[in-house]
Structure 1
């Protein structure tokens, strides 16, 4: 049969009234069970503390440009690994008294895992790490949390000092290595310059300039030599031609002088003899022969060439023009010889420069390479010296505890665990369940019990109209007993609620 909500409520009230002892008994039983469970439930306290961790690592400013700084996620993971590591865990077990009974290795492993399971390390923001530890003992939860924080800070400071020392040792080692490299490079440069004095930066430019100058000198001297040779050939031709002309001109003069003498003799003979006189005829023939010879000499002189050398006689040698030409020819020959010597010397110097350049290029290339390596190593060495001094200062600060970047932000404190149920929650749960459990059972009985409890159920089930409903009539004795029973039940409920409230206050105040 389908029941409406108001019918269900009315039926539940009737059933609870008729089963009032059962309802109250279940209410009391549920509350007692919940109070007992809350009272016996193991206590759980959580100790928590917060540590401020500086974002910058000591290695970051020291190794800037040479190493990558540790990321935030890596730092948080490292903090958890450090806190839950065996070194700190072992000291926590010893200080908290877990090792007083000398547990075995297997038992110690179990303690390690148990403490790890109850310890939480979480990042809060970027610079804060929060440590939480849960325990049934309030004082031990506080002590373990504080111990974790102290040991973590101590361990991180030790790691920081070790990190700074390692950075200093590494930089110092690198500086010494580069110092040795600089010394070796300087010694090799010195030996290379001692063995090859021209091996220096820019020597190839000087060598090229010298080669160009020598080639220019050879070209200019060769041009001058050609001009001198051409001048010498011209002077040679002039000297040969002047000698020929001088010789011919001298013989012609002799012939003319002889002809003049014979002409004077002929004139003298003509004063005494006729032209047919044998002496006169002889003189005339001599004159004609001389004149013919003079004409022949004149023609040869006109046809004379410089290449046709003639015997030099005293007249030619004493000719001033000839002597001047000979002096110029000798001077020109000396010039030619000097130019040839200059060309030979220039070619020799050019060959020496070429030979020296062959060795210079290899030495110069090696010198340039050594100079470049020396400059780079020197820059790195200077940078390493700067970084080493910074590492030394950081190391001194760490040794004096001036560079510590770990501090307690929130001191360790203990409080009930937020996830553990409170005693008042058990009390409230007992009251709620004490009400809902009986009524739930009554509702189930209404749903599944076939007894008729409503008048309309008869009409719906048997199709018979209900004429009237006869209520239960209570006798005066029954009413008095009912009142006493209700008072007793109300008193039991009140006592139960009062007991629950009292225990809640006592538990909240920490008396029990």
Structure 2
């Protein structure tokens, strides 16, 4: 502590020895710094506060009906990209900014200055502070006003542009999927036409049909076998009966109730034909066979009638009377023959169907796999198409919402304004700093001169410098004139410092009161 005090006292004595140098340097430094403080150009700061309200009433109402982007994230990204070069160029083209007619080099420099001086600060939430400093307060205000308009217009334009681009992209995808959907439908149609009777029926259905047809064929075979046995029994009984019994007198006409064998067979075949026509078409094999049988029986009936007429003419009017038992057996045999023919025809038809089903059943698994693949592709495309259509409706609704400008509302909390006082420099603070720097410069100049040309005020200082013992000292005695001169010098020094401080304080007070260059 004593050493520090000693060093301070040495510094002060060194400065005091060259006090007038310190005063001169302080005055000169103060004047130069005062001029610098005065000539520094003013920078006026224009500010504006903008609030973006993304909590619209439409937002919860449109949930699930329309696509809703993250508006908060979009606003933050818009604030970060607001100072892009295209936006700065648009801002410079504003007549209020006054930077439209510049050379290329100066225009580039102006763009760089604008980008460096514009500040966009996020003040929490969706509140943004836009500020800009310029030597011209009107231009500073015009720049901030242009930035606010650019912020609002860019937000609305970007939302609408994004929605329009999304709608356009979805429309293009829908057209592409329509083409794919038509192609898939045509492939399914062509496959069903090529595999008619196979596609659309599962393998289980075919095996069930095969089992049912096999059972039906087995039943028909059993029924046919029983019908053939009955027919054979009738044939044996008919072979033991005489067909005719001779009589002398002409027999009366046969009553209508008594039918010949051929008539009975004709009636049975016609009934069978009627039954077949109710179930099948004219081209069915059973129908064709029944009609062929009816034609043969009708020809046989005409032949028998002709033979009977010839026999009656040959016997001179004597005819052979038919045996009633024989006739009944013939009728029963005809019905049995018709039944056997009908059963054979049915058996043939069912056997043909069974063979067709067996031949087709081998193609069913492959057809099922191909059809399943085609349907799967079609279902995927159909699902994507329906999803795109629903997205297009949602995008269309979102575009209408964006055009209504109701999802995000821009509120100008504080319109652009420029305070009357310049934001930079703060000349009051600079004047105080200049006064302190002037005093420090004077003291430093005096101390530096003392180090260049050192003097020794005490015996200890001389001994420390010379590193030799000091043998003695001589005291100085001032005369009255010297004392008066010393006091006068002190008065002049005090006056110079008082005037220095008074001028600096007055200068600071004037600057604090608002005086400043224009």
Q: TM-score, normalised by structure 1?
A: 0.63
Q: Secondary structure at the match of 1:16?
A: helix
Deviations 1:272-329 (A, max 9, x none): xxxxxxxxxxxxxxxxxxxxxxxxxxxxxxxxxxxxxxxxxxxxxxxxxxxxxxxxxx
Distance in 1 separating the partners of 2:110 and 2:472 = 78
What displacement does 1:358 show? 5.6
**2:430 aligned partner:** 426
RMSD of Structure 2 on Structure 1 (CA):
5.0
Deviations 1:142-176 (A, max 9, x none): 32122112112112211221222222233344445
Aligned counterparts, 1:290-305, within 5 A: none
Aligned counterparts, 1:489-500, within 5 A: 489-500=493-504
Aligned counterparts, 1:338-377, within 5 A: 345-357=349-361, 364-365=368-369, 367-377=371-381
Check if 1:169 corresponds to 2:168. yes
Distance in 2 separating the partners of 1:462 and 1:503 = 50
Q: Is the 8 A contact 2:54 2:71 kept in 1?
A: no
Q: Secondary structure at the match of 2:94?
A: helix
Distance in 2 separating the partners of 1:353 and 1:24 = 127
Aligned counterparts, 1:210-359, within 5 A: 210-215=209-214, 345-357=349-361
CA 1:201–1:414 in 2, change beyond 3 Å: closer, same or farther?
Answer: farther
Q: Is the 8 A contact 2:48 2:415 kept in 1?
A: yes
Deviations 1:43-102 (A, max 9, x none): 2333344444577999xx9999xx9978988875654444333255234343234346x3
**1:402 aligned partner:** 406
Q: Secondary structure at the match of 1:27?
A: helix
Check if 1:438 corresponds to 2:442. yes
What displacement does 1:29 show? 1.6
Q: Is the 8 A contact 1:201 1:368 kept in 2?
A: no
CA 1:109–1:481 in 2, change beyond 3 Å: closer, same or farther?
Answer: same
User: Going by fraction, where is helix more abundant, 1 or 2?
Assistant: 1
Q: TM-score, normalised by structure 2?
A: 0.62
Distance in 2 separating the partners of 1:432 and 1:117 = 32
**1:86 aligned partner:** 86
What displacement does 1:124 show? 4.9
Q: Is the 8 A contact 1:47 1:133 kept in 2?
A: yes
Distance in 1 separating the partners of 2:45 and 2:494 = 41
What displacement does 1:360 show? 5.5
Deviations 1:425-476 (A, max 9, x none): 3222222222323333444455454532211234554654565662x44444
Q: List runs of 5+ in structure 2 lacking aligned partners.
A: 237-336
Check if 1:384 corresponds to 2:409. no
Q: Is the 8 A contact 2:53 2:410 kept in 1?
A: yes
Q: Secondary structure at the match of 1:132?
A: strand
Q: Is the 8 A contact 1:459 1:465 kept in 2?
A: yes
Check if 1:501 corresponds to 2:505. yes
Distance in 2 separating the partners of 1:88 and 1:350 = 86
**2:326 aligned partner:** none
Deviations 1:178-225 (A, max 9, x none): 456556655665676677664664543322321233345567888x69
Distance in 2 separating the partners of 1:108 and 1:465 = 75
What displacement does 1:386 show? 3.2
**1:452 aligned partner:** 456
CA 1:146–1:492 in 2, change beyond 3 Å: closer, same or farther?
Answer: farther
Deviations 1:114-162 (A, max 9, x none): 2223233455556455433232223322321221121121122112212
CA 1:86–1:361 in 2, change beyond 3 Å: closer, same or farther?
Answer: same
Q: Is the 8 A contact 2:184 2:374 kept in 1?
A: yes
Distance in 1 separating the partners of 2:75 and 2:359 = 66
**1:114 aligned partner:** 113
The structure whose Rg is larger is 1
Q: Is the 8 A contact 1:53 1:407 kept in 2?
A: yes
**1:511 aligned partner:** 515
Distance in 1 separating the partners of 2:199 and 2:495 = 116
**1:18 aligned partner:** 17
Q: Secondary structure at the match of 2:27?
A: helix
Deviations 1:239-283 (A, max 9, x none): 9xxxxxxxxxxxxxxxxxxxxxxxxxxxxxxxxxxxxxxxxxxxx
Distance in 1 separating the partners of 2:346 and 2:123 = 92
Q: Secondary structure at the match of 1:131?
A: strand
What displacement does 1:369 show? 4.2
What displacement does 1:498 show? 3.1
Q: Secondary structure at the match of 2:95?
A: helix
Q: Is the 8 A contact 1:88 1:152 kept in 2?
A: no
**2:314 aligned partner:** none
Aligned counterparts, 1:126-145, within 5 A: 127-145=126-144
188-197 or 104-113: bigger deviation:
188-197
Q: Is the 8 A contact 2:132 2:140 kept in 1?
A: yes
What displacement does 1:479 show? 4.1
Distance in 1 separating the partners of 2:463 and 2:369 = 123
Q: How many residues align?
A: 412
What displacement does 1:349 show? 1.9
